[in-house]
Every structure is written in C-alpha cells, then in structure tokens.
Amino acid sequence: MSQPWTAPLATSPVTGEHQVPGSKSITNRAFILAALANSPSILHAPLVSRDTQLMEDALSAMGVRFTHEGADIHVQPGKLHGATVDCGLAGTVMRFVPPVAALADGPVRVDGDKQAYNRPMSTTLDALRSLGVDVKGDSLPFTVSANGVPEGGKVTIDASGSSQFVSGLLLSGARFSQGIQLTHEGGQLPSMPHVEMTVGMLRQAGVRVDSDGTTWTVHPGPIAGREWFIEPDLSNATPFLAAAAVTGGRLTIKNWPANTTQPGDAIRHILLDMGVMVTQEHNSVTAEGNPAGRLQGIERNMGDIGELTPTVAALCALAETPSRLTGIAHLRGHETDRLQALAANINALGGRVTELDDGLVIEPAELHGGNWPCYADHRMATAGAILGLKVPDIQIEDISTTSKTLPGFARMWETMLHPDQQDLHG
C-alpha cells in the first residue's frame, strides 16, 4: 500500500476545463462484443486502467488478439480456448467473462483478488448451469467448462444484487445456439441505465434484442465487428464537477455526450437540486457553485445511479440541510460495503451519518481532518478527495486504488487546483 495522501485543501474556487478518459463500462462491453464478433473491431480512445487491462488480459488469454495503435485498440477475434483468468476486483470482468468462457474450447478458471472472493457470483454461475454449462464453484475462484456451444434458452434470475448479472448474460447471448431469454424476478433491479447501455450496444453490433423491462430476449446470430467510439466516463467526471460545487468555482467537462445511457449523466440534475448552476452546451457540461460553496441536502432514490453514491454522499456531508439517499442496498456487495464504509469514514471525521437498510441519512455536522480508509475502492478514494477540498488534513490511505478506473487521479486533482503549475488534461 502506498503512503497516505493528504487530500489537497482548496484555497480558492476551482475553475477551468477538464477532460476525463473513456468510460470503463462502455470499454469493457465493447471488448466483449469485439471478442465475440465475426470480424475485427476498433475501439477509439478506450479507457486504459486496471479494470480494462484485466478484461483485455482475460480475453487475450482465451485467444483474442489486441493491438494498441496510439489511442486506439484493434481487436481480432479468434477461436476461444481454455485459460486461467485474473479478474482482480473488477465486477465487469467477473460477471461478463464467465458467459464468454462458456463458448471456449476448454475449461476457463477464473480467479481474482482475495477481497473479490466475497463478491456475489452465484447468480451468474447458477444461470450458466441452467443453460447447460458445467461450472465448478459458487464464488471466486471457479471454473467454467462447456462441451460445444451452449444451447441457451430461457433462464430466470434474481439480479437485485447487481445489474451486471443481466448485462453479462446478454452480451454473450447471441452466440448461444438458441440465444437467451432472460427474466429478472426479485427485488428492484439496480442501475437500469447500465442494462440499457448493454442492450443499446448489442443493437449497434447488429444483434436483435427484445425487452420489456424485466425480460430480455437476445436472438441467436452473428455479432458484427465495428468501430466503437468510447464516450468519456461521466461517473469519473462527477468528482471534478463536485469540486466546483463545494469551492464556489466554475468547471467545464469537455466532450460530454448530448445523449447517453451512462448513469453519470444524472449528476447534472443532482447538482441542480443541491443549489449548483449546471449548464449543458454542445459537447460540454459546466457546474458553477455559489460563491460560498453552499449546498442544500437532497432526498433521492439512487437505485439507478448507485455508483454516484460516494460522490453524492461527500457533497451531502458538506451540505447545510439533511439528506436521505435510498434504493442502494446493492452497494453493500461492491468492492466494499460502500454504505457501511461511507458512514464509518464520514462519522470518523465528525459527521452524522446513519445507515439504513438501503441507504444513508446524512445530517449537517462540522467535519475535521483524519484518516480516510479506501478499502481498495476507487470511489471511496475520490469521495475523500472531495471532502478534503473543504476539510483540512484528510489522509487518504491508498489513493492509488483510483487506477482501477482513473489512472493518474491524484495528479489530475492537484493540477485542477493549481492549473498554473502544469497543463490540465486527462
């Protein structure tokens, strides 16, 4: 673990323009579709981070060829074969790769970081079993084997723990001999925008998908190789917009898509509700905090946008009125139990946070400096950085964990605060 990083204190309003790297969610979905395509694909400006490298390495181990040319990655699909795969802590790798492994000619063993052993996996693995795939194990590590192309067909799952269970099965479904008809039964399906992203990308690759919101039918057929233009990661942009909000500054994120399925787009409306001026123009979004950086608390169901919770919780901890964030029980199964971690960390700094079964109540309190554990969770690290803009001497234990989705975050954050010292870029 690296030395603690003292989160920089903002001594003046944050201003300027910023550009964040590509979306992890789009990059890893494009990798899967390119790996299963019937012809080569090109990913333009994909994210290069630990999570995307783990996905590339996993698919490469199974026989897919990747060539990096400048900011682009060329993907040449190949005959899939048995392999050993490391998924690290990446949910997209551990949930998206097993259905691909079911198409391989040979067993695929999937392992990962020890901390990932507690992440829910049985929904995906039981679904594969019901589709005729041999799976040994119910959590990491596990082995997936299939004798020929899986038949596919109908399968019912409870995906209330993660939308990745749905997306992972849908992404490979067209390559199963009967396709897949997947029905979700159970509690609220979280992060629906991510499922919509999956369906949209499948259709862009020429796959026929029918959906009514709880059942998705992926018809069998080829997946087309194509060019994928990767949007910037809007969830990774949220801490930078939050910086403008809490410092009374004005910051523009460049290349913000006019239309997107990314959950991060919801930050525009959240900031407006908290008293921040937000404007969207062609190819950009700008957040402008009021001169004192004052924020109002909010009440919001975050079920569809759970990944924004650490950013929003940090903002709420600095707000003048109480907040209530609900619909996010599934965050207990992420890199860490994010609800417990946020409550413990903020309370250790003098905050007043109460855990609910499915969320957090955050009341105004005077915060002070202290230790901020990250629990190997990149979004916990960025939440601590937001608080550190206003609260002196917050020591973030492992800022390098941000390399999971945003390599170089610490440098980008420090440059945002001191743009005169080096160019601001992502």
Active site residues: 307
Q: If residue 98 lies in a helix (H) or strand (E), which one and from where to where?
A: helix 91-101
Which residues, at least 6 apart from 61, have a Cβ–Cβ distance to it below 8 Å?
Answer: 83, 84, 85
164 annotated ligand-binding residue: yes
379 annotated ligand-binding residue: yes
49 annotated ligand-binding residue: no
25 annotated ligand-binding residue: yes
How many helices (H) and strands (E) the chain has is answered by 12, 23
The string of DSSP letters for 283-333 reads TEEEEE--TT------EEE-GGGGGGHHHHHHHHHT-SS-EEEES-GGGGG
390 annotated ligand-binding residue: no
* 61 three-class SS: helix
167 annotated ligand-binding residue: no
Cα torsion at 342, 425, 89, 188 (round to 10°)?
60
Whats the size of the chain, residue-wise?
426
Supply 203's token pair. Answer: 């259709």
Count Cβ atoms below 10 Å from residue 155 Cβ, excluding itself: 17
338 annotated ligand-binding residue: yes
Of 322, 358, 319, nearest to 337 (Cα)?
358
Strands 227-229, 41-44: pairing is: parallel
Supply 136's token pair. Answer: 């040994």
CA-CA distance, 296 to 390, in Å (whole number)? 16
294 annotated ligand-binding residue: no
Contact 38, 225 (CB under 8 A): yes
Give how far Cα 77 sits from Cα of 36, 38, 61, 70, Å.
6, 7, 12, 20
Contacts 24+ apart (CB under 8 A), 63-67: 63/104, 64/34, 64/35
Residue 108 half-sphere exposure, CB side, CA atoms within 13 Å? Answer: 27
Residues belonging to the binding site for 3-phosphoshikimate are: 24-25, 29, 162-164, 191, 307, 334
Residues belonging to the binding site are: 24-25, 29, 91, 119, 162-164, 191, 307, 334, 338, 379, 404
Residues belonging to the binding site for phosphoenolpyruvate are: 24, 91, 119, 164, 338, 379, 404
